[in-house]
Amino acid sequence: MRNLTRRSILGAGTVMGAGLLTGGFPRFAGAQAKEITVTAFGGVWEEAVRTCFVAPFEQKTGAKANVSLGGPPQWLAQVEADPQDPPVDVLIMTPDLALSAAKADLVDDFTVANLPNLAKTPQELTDSVAGKGTIFDYGVGGITFNKETVSQPPKSFHEFVDRVSKGEFVASVPSISYAVTPIMLIWAMAKALGGGVDNVDPFFEAMAKMKDNLVFWGAPNDFFNQMSSGEADVGIYFDGRTWNHYDSGATWIDFLNPEEGGSLNGVAVQKPKNADPLAWTYINEILDARNQEKFADIMNYGVTNTDVKYSEKLNGRITPWQKTAFPPYEEIAKVRNDWVDRWNREIGR
């Protein structure tokens, strides 16, 4: 007999309640509950997940995918708390936390046997999370600018630093309160200026040169407000968010990938150990080319199935992942706190 856990009891109660409310009877498929719990960020992300991944999964399997909203630290903590009966069946993770989950042996290996569509995902993107997941979606941290006030934008991080330092324009950069700043700004600029994970002095030296002509954003909408008000003319921001603003009517905004390559900020998918095996079917839908095409069109971000054919709208917007700077997520995780401490001492904003 199947062990009754709190999760399975609650799941059965939900199904039974739905049956009573509709005047029908709940349907069970043998001993296996025909529901899984998947994860998504809120807002347009949730809408895209439901449209592009949940809908085809439910249509193909007849099962239901319940969407849990939140963020990777929360979901990882939930799996860590109950690894034998994880409360979510599919994890959406930042690469650094995906690596933490892999090291803790909380997630399963990704293989083509379980995920046929994994064969269409570049091996480097699976290797980046130790083979226990893969990156399926990514943004590029590059240079966003107001093309009405900046007719000749800086084409590289070198040029960006030089022209901001000279006061040619005011630039907006993410503050240390933004979770991705150590990757998209500290590491990416340090690498472009001759440093790297083991040497971020070039970044801090550049910030000292630019300090009189910088403003900081703590949340993505702050950046857009600074740009639209004229407080800043150019800045370090994400490609997808830039194009979302453009599509919403801010046609004065534009984006370019720096010559050195902006940082690739990936989103990984993983399956917790002991999660429902139906999770494999759902993840395979995430890795499907047609589903990823729809997802990219909604989100304005790059996806990773090599069979994807971007729409005409996206062809000039998406930066191939090979032209980005691929962060060494595991190495950054080791020194991240030191970078934050140094930022607080030397920059303080």
Instruction: Name, in order, each residue with C-beta under 8 angstroms of 192's C-beta and a sequence gap of 6 or more.
Output: 156, 157, 158, 258, 260, 261, 325
Q: Count CB atoms within 10 A of the CB of residue 260.
A: 16
C-alpha closest to that of 141 among 177, 180, 172: 180
* Topology of the domain comprising 139-264+325-346: D-Maltodextrin-Binding Protein; domain 2 (3.40.190)
pLDDT of the residue at 338 = 96
Phi, psi angles (nearest 5°) of residue 230: 90, 5
Nearest CA among 93, 94, 40 for reference residue 67: 40
- Give the pLDDT of residue 287: 98
Q: With beta carbons less than 8 A apart as the criterion, state whether 85 and 7 touch.
A: yes
Residue 138: CB atoms within 10 A of its CB come to 25
> What residue type is assigned to position 61 of the chain?
T
pLDDT at 28 over 60: no
What proportion of the chain, given as a percentage, has pLDDT over 70? 91
* pLDDT on residue 31: 38
Residue with tokens 């993107």: 125
**What is the per-residue pLDDT for 13?**
36
Q: What is the DSSP string of 256-306?
A: E--TT-PEEEEEEEE-BTTS-THHHHHHHHHT-HHHHHHHHHHH--EE--T
**Quick check: 135 and 125 in contact, CB under 8 A?**
yes
Tokens of 85: 């009966």
What 3-state DSSP class applies to 61?
Answer: helix
Amino acid type, 339: W
Summarize the confidence of residues 203-222 as an average pLDDT. Answer: 96
Pairing of strands 134-146, 234-238: antiparallel
Question: Lowest mean pLDDT: which of 4-8, 120-124, 213-217?
Answer: 4-8
CATH architecture, domain defined by 29-138+266-321 = 3-Layer(aba) Sandwich (3.40)
Give CATH 3.40.190.10 domain extents, the chain: 29-138+266-321, 139-264+325-346
pLDDT digits (tens, 9 = 90+) for 159-190: 999 999 999 999 999 999 998 999 999 999 99
pLDDT above 70: residue 314: yes
Are 243 and 313 a contacting pair, CB within 8 Å? no
Helix axes of 220-229 and 239-247: crossing angle, nearest 10 degrees: 60
Average pLDDT along the chain: 90
Mean pLDDT for 255-260 is: 97
Residues 6+ apart with CB under 8 A from 292: 52, 136, 137, 286, 303, 304, 305, 308
Per-residue pLDDT of 272-305, as tens digits, reads: 999 999 999 999 999 999 999 999 999 999 999 9
Q: What is the pLDDT of residue 135?
A: 97
36-80 pLDDT, tens digit each: 999 999 989 999 999 999 999 999 999 999 999 999 999 999 999
Tokens of 46: 């949730």
User: Which tokens hold the place of 131?
Assistant: 């083979």
Residue 34 half-sphere exposure, CB side, CA atoms within 13 Å?
Answer: 15
pLDDT digits (tens, 9 = 90+) for 322-337: 999 999 988 998 899 9
Which whole number is the average pLDDT over 88-115?
96
